Structure 1
Amino acid sequence: MKMLVDFLPIALFFAVYHLSDDILLATLVLIPATLAQVAFVWWRYRRVEKMQLITLALVVVMGGATVIFHDAAFIQWKPTVVNWLFAFAFLVAPLFGGKTLIERMMGKAIALPAATWRRLNLAWVAFFIALGAINVYVFKTYDEATWVNFKLFGMLGLTLLFVLGQGVYLARHMPRDTLSQNDHQKDDV
């Protein structure tokens, strides 16, 4: 359910853009859709993740600038800014509390050596930097419709591939006793 709610604003942006060929109209839909998404998450879970708030702020500010100045570049830069902020957060998180951000998110579910957590975290940093750079390349090189398609399908596809790659990496680096415990738990079900 939460994943669907998270995906809804970009899906609406995509649909409105392709129905109207108007990025300003699509952005006008994106802003309240993102506000509604965050409000729903708050109502349903009584908490909103920091990353959702950052994304909301950037949608409102950069989307608002797109509409006010009639310039799509603002909304096109938003994914890059978000990804680079994520990269920065992943990079500096160990300075505040010692643990990497990825370990804070997954550490209760998976036991890994500190060096492995650091490598995973740096992989996320590199991924977010690359995704932001690819976004700039696409919107500077291709037409607006191609960028909108990339925003939905390209970024989602790249993220899924990266997560799958991380799954393979994690499986190779998990302690054997953790793997066998999980296998036994599956057998009990």
Structure 2
Amino acid sequence: MAKRELNPTLRMVLELGPVLVYLAAYFWFKDRPVTLGGEEYGGVVVAMAVFVPLSVLGLGISWALTGTASRMAVFTVLMVMVFGGITVWMNDATFAMMRPTVVYGFFAAVLALGLYGLKRSYLQFLMGTVLPMRDEGWRIFTRNWIVFFVAMAIFNEFVWRVLGETAWVWLDTVGQFVLTLGFLATQMPVLQRHAISDEK
């Protein structure tokens, strides 16, 4: 199936819609637990019960309309399904709050294995055609992402264990997006310094 471009507005709805619904569901059910089968389900658990099918639906619609889905998007949704499903099944928000730690740790491990074990940058493999850069630049860029992912995994653990559930929900929905944008902004000098200009 040929790859097709997704309408930017629709892309934003598919990507941000489930997150916004998740955030709204958490704060709505935070002090209004749902009782099913004699058991109470609180904010994070109910929000995950809503978020998981919406994430799967969003990925499915994106794939149906474009004919493709990125490996990262598929992996992220799989992690949401696994940890979200366990969260709802066990009625324990801990599993949901551990999910970002596992995801960040996995990305850091994969990039580190490629960079230090196999002497190659997986980011260059994935993005090299759209972001021409010298090998040294890719090594630095990949190393910085490894550090960022490790830092985010540690920070995620700190937030949910020390600051609590509500702080973690803000980190999971808004904070990680803002922090990632901030990190990308700090990488602009690396990208500019090692970019390969189009001679043509």
Pick the TM interval, shorter chain.
0.7 to 0.9
TM-score, normalisation: structure 1: 0.85
Q: 1:130-162 CA deviation, whole Å, 9 max, x = no partner?
A: 111101100000121111011122211110001
Matched residue, 1:114: 135
Alignment of 1:79-118 (within 5 A): 79-93=100-114, 99-118=120-139
Task: Write the distance in 1 (CA, Å) between the matches of 2:15 and 2:104.
Answer: 16
* Percent identity between the two aligned chains: 26
Matched residue, 2:33: none
Task: Write the distance in 1 (CA, Å) between the matches of 2:103 and 2:13.
Answer: 20
Task: Write the distance in 2 (CA, Å) between the matches of 1:31 and 1:109.
Answer: 31
Q: 1:17-60 CA deviation, whole Å, 9 max, x = no partner?
A: 12221111101101101110111121011122222222122111
* Equivalent of residue 191 in structure 2, options 163, 170, 177: 170
Task: Write the distance in 1 (CA, Å) between the matches of 2:177 and 2:109.
Answer: 20
Task: Write the distance in 2 (CA, Å) between the matches of 1:108 and 1:74.
Answer: 37
Q: Which amino acid aligns with 2:89?
A: I
Query: Would you say 1:143 and 2:164 are equivalent positions?
Result: yes
* Equivalent of residue 11 in structure 1, options 1, 20, 27: 20
TM-score, normalisation: structure 2: 0.80
Q: Which amino acid aligns with 1:18?
A: F
Matched residue, 1:160: 181
Task: Write the distance in 2 (CA, Å) between the matches of 1:136 and 1:126.
Answer: 16
Going from structure 1 to structure 2, the CA distance change for 1:40 and 1:95 (only over 3 Å counts) comes to farther
Matched residue, 1:48: 69
Matched residue, 1:27: 48
How much does 1:99 deviate?
4.1
Q: Which sections of structure 1, spanning at least 5 residues, go unmatched?
A: none
| Number of residue pairs aligned between Structure 1 and Structure 2 | 179
How much does 1:3 deviate?
4.3
Task: Write the distance in 2 (CA, Å) between the matches of 1:72 and 1:119.
Answer: 36
Task: Write the distance in 2 (CA, Å) between the matches of 1:54 and 1:99.
Answer: 21
Partner secondary structure for residue 47 of structure 1: coil
Task: Write the distance in 1 (CA, Å) between the matches of 2:127 and 2:53.
Answer: 31
Task: Write the distance in 2 (CA, Å) between the matches of 1:145 and 1:129.
Answer: 22
**RMSD of Structure 2 on Structure 1 (CA):** 2.2
Going from structure 1 to structure 2, the CA distance change for 1:142 and 1:96 (only over 3 Å counts) comes to closer
